[in-house]
Structure 1
Amino acid sequence: MTFIDYSNEEKSSATKEEKDTTSSKLPEDASKWGYDMYPDRKGASSKSEKPSRSVTDYLTGRGRDHLDKIRCERNVYKCVKESPLVKLMMGALKSSGCGIDIRRHIACEECASNVSGGYDPIMNQVIVCHNTVKSEGMVQGVLTHELIHMFDYCQNDLDFKNLEHLACTEIRAANLGHCSFMSAWINGDASIFNIKEMHQNCVKSKALSSVMAARSGISKMEAINAIEKVFPKCYPDLEPIGRRLRRNSYDMYKAYEEGYYYGYDIP
C-alpha cells in the first residue's frame, strides 16, 4: 500500500538525495490518501489525541504497544540481516542510488486494524504495522511489498497522485511478492479450469484491494479500469526480483543469487 506523493512541481526539481529530505507536510485531506489508517503519520499532535491508558489497561494487555513495537523492530532487523528478498531489495535500491538506513527508512508503528504496512513517499519511509504484523514471515512480506514501492519511486519516478501510477506499482508488488497458486486458490482466484490465468487474477485482486485502501476517494470501477489499463505493461515488469515467486520453493534464494548478475550491491 502507498500514500500520497508531493506535487509534480516539487518532484521535478528533486534529486534522489533530496527526496529523502523533502518536507513532511501532509496533504490537506489526509484521509483521502490513506493517512487516517496510520495515526502516527499525522505528526506529534496526534499522539495527544490517543486515549490515555489506565493501570487496568496495562494489566489486561492493552498497554503492550511498546512490546509489540520492540518485537516488530527485532523482526525487521532479522529480515534485513537474513531474508534473501529483503537483502535483494535493499541491494537493488542501493545500486539505484537510494540506499536504506533502517533507522531512518523503516518504522514500526501502530496502524488501523485492516492494514499491515505502507510506504510513505513524503517521508520516504516504509511502515510495518506492529499491532497487526506479528511474525517474522509477515514482516518479510510487508517489507518486500513496500520496498517494491520504494524502488519504483526511486527508479521510475512515480507520481502517486496519478491513479495509473498507483495501480502499476500495486500490480508489481502483488506480482512479485504475494501471488502463488496456493494464495490464489485461497483467495478464490484459481480453479482447475483457469490455471493459466490464476496468477493474473490473483495479482489483479490484490492490486485492487491495495488501490482501494490507499485511495478512498475513488470508486471500485475507477480502480478496476486503472488496473486493466496498465496491466499489460506493468505485469511483465519483474525488476528487481526477476521472477515470480512460488510458495514453498527456492525461488527467493535463486532471485537473491541472480541479483549479483544484475550488479546489485547486495549485503
Structure 2
Amino acid sequence: MAISSDDSQHKPSELSTSSPEKLTGFEWWRRSLAYRTGLGLNEQEQKQYEHDYTAKNLPDMCKSCVEGRDWMLQYSPTVIFMMDHVRKLGGNLNVTNINCDVCDDTKGGGFHPEMGILLCSNWIRNKWQLEDILAHELVHAYDYLKFKVDLTNLKHHACTEIRASMLSGECRIFNEIKKTGLGNFGSKFQTCVRRRAVLSVQANPNCSGPEEAQRVVDTVWQSCFNDTRPFEQVYR
C-alpha cells in the first residue's frame, strides 16, 4: 500500500495496460514505478509503458523536478539527514526509485514500500516545495521501516501522516502565514498538521468518512505529534 494524498491500496501484481487517460493518478504512478523498477513486468506491459511514456513526453515535463530532486539529495540538510536514517534502517532509496512523474490527482507525491517515492512534477511549484514533499515521503519511508506501518490500520496511517507533516517542514509557520494571515498565530502549526493528517486518513479506503478520520487523528495525536524521531526537536 502506498502513502500519498489519496492513499489508495494497490498490489504490485495488479498492473494494467490501459491507456493513461483511463488510469487514476495513483495508478499511473504505481504502474510507472513498476516499469522503471522491473517489478512484476511482462513483455506486453513493458511495450505498453514505453509507448505511453513517449506519448506523455515526460522527460521534458519532469526536467525541473529531476534537477530539484538531485539538488536536494546533494545539498538539503533535511533530505540528507532523512536519507541517512532510512539507509541505517536498511532502506535503499536513490535516484533510481525517487521518481518525477506527472500525476492526475492534485497531490505532491507518494511513497510505496516496494517501488519508492513519487514526486508529482506538475503540482510542484518550486524546489523548496519539492524539498518539503520529498522530506514528507522520506518520513513515511522511515516510519515504514522503523515501526512496521500497516496502512490498513487507520491509527498507523494517522500517526505517520502527523509525523510526516510535522517533520517535513511543510507546516512551518511562515508558510501558514502566507496562506492564512497572522490570525491564530500560536496554533497555526498544529492546525496545519492536523488538517493534513485528517485529509489523508479520510482518503484511506478503510476509513468511513471525515468523522472517523478526525476521531482517529485525535486518538493518536498526543503520542505521534510529540514523537520527533529521528530528529531531536522540530523547528516551526
Same fold (TM over 0.5): yes
| 1:147 to partner: Cα distance | 0.3
Q: Is 1:119 aligned to 2:119, yes or no?
A: no
The answer to whether the 8 A contact 1:152-1:158 is kept is yes
- Count of aligned pairs between the two proteins: 211
1:203 maps to which of 184, 193, 212: 193
2:31 maps to which of 39, 42, 62: 42
Residue identity in the other structure for 1:112: D
| Unaligned segments of structure 1, at least 5 residues | 7-22, 29-34, 54-62, 247-267
Provide the residue aligned with 1:75 in structure 2. Answer: 68
1:149 maps to which of 137, 140, 153: 140
| 1:143 to partner: Cα distance | 0.7
SS at match of 1:102: coil
Cα separation, partners in 2 of 1:170 and 1:97, compared to 1, 3 Å: same
Distance 1:92 1:48 in 2: 34
The answer to whether the 8 A contact 1:189-1:201 is kept is no
| 1:113 to partner: Cα distance | 4.3
Provide the residue aligned with 2:124 in structure 1. Answer: 133
Distance 2:232 2:60 in 1: 36
Provide the residue aligned with 1:236 in structure 2. Answer: 226
Cα separation, partners in 2 of 1:228 and 1:42, compared to 1, 3 Å: same
Provide the residue aligned with 2:174 in structure 1. Answer: 182
The answer to whether the 8 A contact 1:106-1:127 is kept is yes
2:94 maps to which of 79, 89, 101: 101
User: If the length of structure 1 is used for normalisation, what is the TM-score?
Assistant: 0.68
| 1:239 to partner: Cα distance | 0.9
| 1:27 to partner: Cα distance | 9.5
Q: Which is greater in Rg?
A: 1
Provide the residue aligned with 1:110 in structure 2. Answer: 102
The answer to whether the 8 A contact 2:62-2:100 is kept is yes
- Of all paired residues, the percent bearing the same amino acid is 24
The answer to whether the 8 A contact 1:86-1:140 is kept is yes
Q: 1:81-92 counterparts in 2 under 5 A?
A: 81-92=74-85
SS at match of 2:171: coil
Provide the residue aligned with 1:249 in structure 2. Answer: none
| Unaligned segments of structure 2, at least 5 residues | 17-22, 36-44
Q: Which has the higher contact order (CA 8 A, sep 6+)?
A: 1
The answer to whether the 8 A contact 2:15-2:31 is kept is no
| 1:71 to partner: Cα distance | 2.3
Cα separation, partners in 2 of 1:146 and 1:215, compared to 1, 3 Å: farther
Provide the residue aligned with 1:218 in structure 2. Answer: 208
User: If the length of structure 2 is used for normalisation, what is the TM-score?
Assistant: 0.76
Residue identity in the other structure for 1:180: R
